[in-house]
Amino acid sequence: MTHRVFVGAVGADGSPLHLATRDGRFTYVGPERPETAGAQVVDLQGKLVLPGFVDGHIHLDKSFVGDRWRPHQTATTLRERLAAEKRELAAAAPMAQRADALMRQTVSFGTVAMRCHVDIDATTGLTHLHAVMAMREKWRGLLDIELVAFPQAGVMTCPGTADVLDAAVREGVQVIGGIDPTTLDGDPHGQLGVIFGLAEKHGVKLDIHLHEPGEIGLAQLHRIAARTQAAGLQGRVAVSHAYGLGDIGPAELDTIARALADAGVSIMTNAPGDRAFPPILRLREAGVRVFTGNDNIQDSWWPYGNGDMLQRAMLVGYRSGFYTDDELRVALDMATHAAAAVIGKTDYGLRAGNEASFVVFDAPNAAAAVAAAPAARAVIRHGRYWGGPAQLALDAALLEDTAGSTPT
């Protein structure tokens, strides 16, 4: 039995925090120093402790991490971008190798779980899915991965894709995806009918990419909210990006926010750099769960990203104009508890009984960590030191007993 007590830390609000773990789970989390008899005591010397990060939206099958640098290729339409991506991926290192490299990188930053969208269509079949599933098995125990069958080429305009989505669920995918039912597929009722039908048939969740602007996107969100209510899928549907929410006025926003909240539809935004995006605080005030993820990382869509969810929280705050400590903690919540709730990760967070996984920073509180996104950190998984992207000075007692579970 491994009994370890971490003393002298601070929590998100900067107040004193002590943690006790036994056999990989928290037995105590709170302000009072716990009993240390028989335990290995690790002094965190005033460092900040945060829960492990949850990436609510990532594409492990697309990234060139683990391969050579590829200069970004321009494209004027979505179809051109899709064609360019297929060419680049065909010439890239094996998908399993690249996915493995990105998983290792995200774990080193402190990510403990993610929702991964995997390209699935009538031409690709389940090739991408099988590669990502093999790497998911390799990293099991360090990284929980919920898989989305993502029909990037469309559902209605790519005949046979509905059957492949069905097959993907039978192979273990937990979420059905969708994409721009009007502007890409040209048949919003048809696409939504297919994907909601599959979700009802298999009892799985939905996560729909929605890049559609303004009134088109607004109409789509109303359709999604209505179908969610009708199908009894409240709390099991998410919309990723929902750019149109950043294009509409206050009255329209209030109306759709109420509809989304009533239907339990969550919104994912990664705060993209080139356009408007959902107003996070207004949506949260209306009762809509808003979460975040890295989305694409160094791939055919854009050259940015490294997999660090603390950096993503910083970017969300920066682009949203978050300045107060409360607002900065909202950005962190989107990359931790909100995302964990969407993917259904249980026993998560700094609470007795939960998995003893957390990240340690040299920062006075969570707001300061979000604002600066320090690279140096220590990742603790199941109560044992795992590592980190940059060395953080720690009690030597912690480093003596490393996890020893890094996949090779």
pLDDT at 86: 87
Query: CA angle 241-155-98, nearest 5°?
Result: 65
pLDDT at 407: 81
- Residue in 106, 45, 144, 100 with CA at minimum distance from that of residue 355: 144
Q: pLDDT (tens digit, 9 = 90+) per residue, 335-360?
A: 999 999 999 999 999 999 999 999 99
Say if residue 398's pLDDT is above 80.
no
Tell me the Cα Rg of the chain: 21
Of 297, 315, 343, the one marking the end of a domain is: 343
Percent of the chain with pLDDT over 90: 87
CATH of the domain at 8: 2.30.40.10
Q: Which residue has the higher pLDDT, 57 or 387?
A: 57
Say if residue 268's pLDDT is above 60.
yes
DSSP 8-state symbol, 402: B
Is 90 part of any domain?
A: yes
Q: pLDDT (tens digit, 9 = 90+) per residue, 36-63?
A: 888 999 999 999 999 999 999 999 999 9
Of how many residues is the chain composed? 408
270 and 394 inside one domain: no
Kindly report the pTM of this predicted structure. Answer: 0.95
Q: pLDDT (tens digit, 9 = 90+) per residue, 178-205?
A: 999 999 999 999 999 999 999 999 999 9
Q: pLDDT (tens digit, 9 = 90+) per residue, 312-325?
A: 999 999 999 999 99
- The kind and range of the H/E element at 239 are strand 237-241
Q: Rounded CA gap, 80 and 149, in Å?
A: 22
279 and 391 inside one domain: no
Is 403 part of any domain?
A: no
Domain count, the chain: 2
223 and 245 inside one domain: yes
Q: pLDDT (tens digit, 9 = 90+) per residue, 75-89?
A: 988 888 888 888 998
First to last CA, the chain: 26
Beta strands 144-150 and 205-210 are: unpaired
Query: In sequence order, what DSSP letters do the residues of 111-137 get, joined into one string?
Result: EEEEEEEEE-BTTTBTHHHHHHHHHHH
Contact between 105 and 65 under an 8 Å Cβ cutoff? The reply is yes
Say if residue 224's pLDDT is above 80.
yes
Residue 326 belongs to domain spanning: 53-343
